[in-house]
Structure 1
């Protein structure tokens, strides 16, 4: 490998983003490119999912869980030269909470009562109510610190404080980053990083084989990974990820307003058989909206074991006529489209006709996540500890349970580990009973990497691909 080549690396990514502003759109593709590369938050999660300081050097939390005092890193500047300080923190958090905000986690920020600045490098955040996950949520890209001078244009030309600066974006093809030689922390090892986007797993595999792509974290077709295990050029690894594959239901619409219908769908699907049919190494049935590596995970998958006769009886009881037609919107991801065919076949057996509609990511985000115009969809939630989305009646699947909302409020209002665990189990039990969505499967993260690359994360505690420590081995 020529010396110049050792300064450059190309990575494969599954989802082509429609914008590069992570505070305006929930797409995983944005986070893979920007998290810990262009943008940084006050805190971060490391590869093991542990909370670490970042733009905040340290913090203290009041005993009542309402007041957070942050000491900020000194001598930090944005890529446009704007200084990072407490006023930046105030601007960012107030912007995320504003009535006109489109931040995917807007509800988190609207719990902020005030942000004050005792000094340039001290920020004081007061919450309206205790929120035990606040520090972890500040590590998500939704809480990336933004320069007031560039926040409005980050969608096309992102400017952050991170170890890489934005260079170029070929829509639908690639994003190129260059090393930030003025970075406040340890400089990145690579000079240039290119993220290439693939919607076709075969094209992704061919790009790896042909040397056009050097590494593919979260390879989109794990069942194809065996072709690389015998190739001495590559290492294939399996890591943990908060992957929660769902058949998401629009609870606002008939017939899903009826609990019996949602339960019927859970009985109608042979989820163990589906996981086996997908032939993805390490996949297994998911028992709640927590990933199995979460210490609070409780498996309720046996509550609705495969029983098509029970499903038909519940549908009849709910007045759902045989031949009822429902639309299933599928994003352009291999697992979703393969699973969609299986779901349609199983539901056909209990009298529901499924019309499959395949859409691209921008259409899915607009139609499903934005306008809530869907019956069913198959999607993986990859954010860590995001069970709180079920407390949001305005979320895309429209689940509205006062019982769950009370449980989640109690969960966030306590810092006691035993109480939080018990409440986490109770929340999962409520979801298992109510079936707002059908929990399908967990899929581990499969990474295909050139053997002489080091520093890439094996585990994925949140959608990310931090590149500062990645390099070619000598």
Structure 2
């Protein structure tokens, strides 16, 4: 990508050595000299322009076209300069320039490019077998430090138990956040296996449908938060492999607000809030009946069952309805739910997320405000966040948004799942990134290849 992000989600140069924004509608990037594609060709601004022009061309039906809708034109006045012109200010534009969003490919890439991809990264493509494996080898011409590992084989192993067995018998060297928490302590008892972990950015949350007569009351949502023992869920169901979330942005994020309303587990206070909101205990001690929709994944069902037990103490009868993912996503997008347990992967790492998930202009299919949350102040603030180019001013706007969301609770942010890897001890300590990608492979110094 032209840029990359650190663990605080601040931008730094990748293929671009420097960049500037002379005005809010213009981004100028200066590409590093001496970078070569895996086939030996020099990477220039013409390749950058061609990559983005291909995505912007409607005829190519790129799923990333919408992300570049504000780009009106791209210039490459010389081999190392690329200029993007936008139709309106868009402070999150740079998110579209990181490797996980858009990588740069050669200008004259052929029709078979998807089967024989060429990039400029630390590893070059060797071969792939669909649904089985992808093999890459180190790129000796990489513009940064050459990886120590000669060859990496990514194997597709759908079953978690089989993945654990492969590690145990030595036919796999590492996995990334793909094992159930209870199996990890068993594996690391083996002398040649170790575990590396760090706080991650993927957010698990409860989403509320604010069109629902009961859940439209903010007090009910706050009572549910107070009736939820998230620390116990992390300790017993996640084996401690998560960190409590106060909001949707990861705590290390440059725009994260630390001073937010908290909802520690307090079932007695939850009962008082429900009583004051007009939901007394009735026959059988039940105040309220609600339904939670989640995936059929074992961990999601266990969390749902634990919530049933916790909320029953406050007089809330919770029906659990596990669904196949496609059905779950369809129901939630259509507003056919009361409460849903889901996870955000990647999207919640940029301030643009506030508009996408909480603006009243972004109900599906135009966004992810699936609970139909409406707040005029949030709409105004997210409009400002979209165009504010000054990071300190943008951070202040984000802080106000986070404080409002913490009070209103359209989501109950549960936790950020840790990035966890079980691996061969001989690989040393892994410097895992918070987003859970494989960039750390370039820095590994194993005792053996």
Q: TM-score under structure 1 normalisation?
A: 0.73
Matches of 2:296 and 2:78, distance apart in 1: 47
Which of 352, 359, 368 lines up with 1:396 in the alignment? 368
Question: Which residue does 2:46 correspond to in 1?
Answer: 87
Deviations 1:359-417 (A, max 9, x none): 4xxx4797479888766232143456334223021233435544223223433544545
Secondary structure, aligned partner of 2:442: coil
Contact 1:268 1:311 in 2 (8 A): no
Moved more, 119-128 or 179-188: 179-188
1:102 counterpart = 2:63: yes
- Please list every run of 5 or more consecutive structure 1 residues that lacks an aligned counterpart in the other structure: 1-40
Is the alpha carbon distance of 1:186 and 1:327 closer, same or farther for their aligned partners in structure 2, counting shifts above 3 Å?
Answer: same
Question: Which residue does 1:244 correspond to in 2?
Answer: 203
Matches of 2:324 and 2:379, distance apart in 1: 33
1:473 counterpart = 2:439: no
Deviations 1:139-195 (A, max 9, x none): 251122244555976666544332323344444443322334565555433332112
Which of 379, 386, 392 lines up with 2:343 in the alignment? 379
Equivalent residues in 2 for 1:226-375, closer than 5 Å: 226-249=185-208, 254=212, 258-260=216-218, 262-263=221-222, 265-281=224-240, 283-295=242-254, 296-298=256-258, 300=260, 302-303=262-263, 306-307=266-267, 308-309=270-271, 310-311=273-274, 326=291, 328-330=293-295, 332=297, 335-346=299-310, 350-359=316-325, 363=326, 367=330
Is the alpha carbon distance of 1:192 and 1:282 closer, same or farther for their aligned partners in structure 2, counting shifts above 3 Å?
Answer: closer
Matches of 1:312 and 1:154, distance apart in 2: 63
Question: Which residue does 1:7 correspond to in 2?
Answer: none
Contact 1:288 1:428 in 2 (8 A): yes
Question: Which residue does 1:15 correspond to in 2?
Answer: none
Is the alpha carbon distance of 1:155 and 1:412 closer, same or farther for their aligned partners in structure 2, counting shifts above 3 Å?
Answer: same
Question: Which residue does 2:283 correspond to in 1?
Answer: none
Report the alpha carbon displacement of residue 127 of structure 1 after superposing the two structures with TM: 3.2
Moved more, 119-128 or 458-467: 458-467
Moved more, 308-317 or 292-301: 308-317
Structure with the bigger RCO (C-alpha within 8 Å, sep 6+) is 1
1:116 counterpart = 2:82: no
- Please list every run of 5 or more consecutive structure 2 residues that lacks an aligned counterpart in the other structure: 281-285, 357-361
Secondary structure, aligned partner of 1:457: coil
Matches of 1:230 and 1:148, distance apart in 2: 50
Matches of 2:344 and 2:437, distance apart in 1: 11
Matches of 1:391 and 1:43, distance apart in 2: 23
Matches of 1:167 and 1:311, distance apart in 2: 60
> What is the aligned-residue RMSD (CA, Å)?
3.9
Secondary structure, aligned partner of 1:298: coil
Report the alpha carbon displacement of residue 447 of structure 1 after superposing the two structures with TM: 2.5
Question: Which residue does 1:55 correspond to in 2?
Answer: 15
Report the alpha carbon displacement of residue 287 of structure 1 after superposing the two structures with TM: 0.7
Matches of 2:98 and 2:212, distance apart in 1: 38
Larger gyration radius, structure 1 or structure 2: 2
Contact 1:457 1:465 in 2 (8 A): no
Secondary structure, aligned partner of 1:68: strand
Which of 396, 399, 412 lines up with 1:422 in the alignment? 396
Q: TM-score under structure 2 normalisation?
A: 0.77
Secondary structure, aligned partner of 1:433: helix
Is the alpha carbon distance of 1:86 and 1:284 closer, same or farther for their aligned partners in structure 2, counting shifts above 3 Å?
Answer: closer
Moved more, 300-309 or 119-128: 300-309
Contact 1:115 1:126 in 2 (8 A): yes
Question: Which residue does 2:179 correspond to in 1?
Answer: 220
Matches of 2:327 and 2:416, distance apart in 1: 21
Deviations 1:217-251 (A, max 9, x none): 33533444333554432332222322322123466
Matches of 1:257 and 1:87, distance apart in 2: 53
Equivalent residues in 2 for 1:160-179, closer than 5 Å: 160-179=119-138
Contact 1:259 1:434 in 2 (8 A): no
Contact 2:7 2:253 in 1 (8 A): no
Moved more, 348-357 or 303-312: 303-312
Matches of 1:264 and 1:172, distance apart in 2: 45
Matches of 1:256 and 1:175, distance apart in 2: 49
Contact 1:455 1:469 in 2 (8 A): no
Report the alpha carbon displacement of residue 122 of structure 1 after superposing the two structures with TM: 0.9
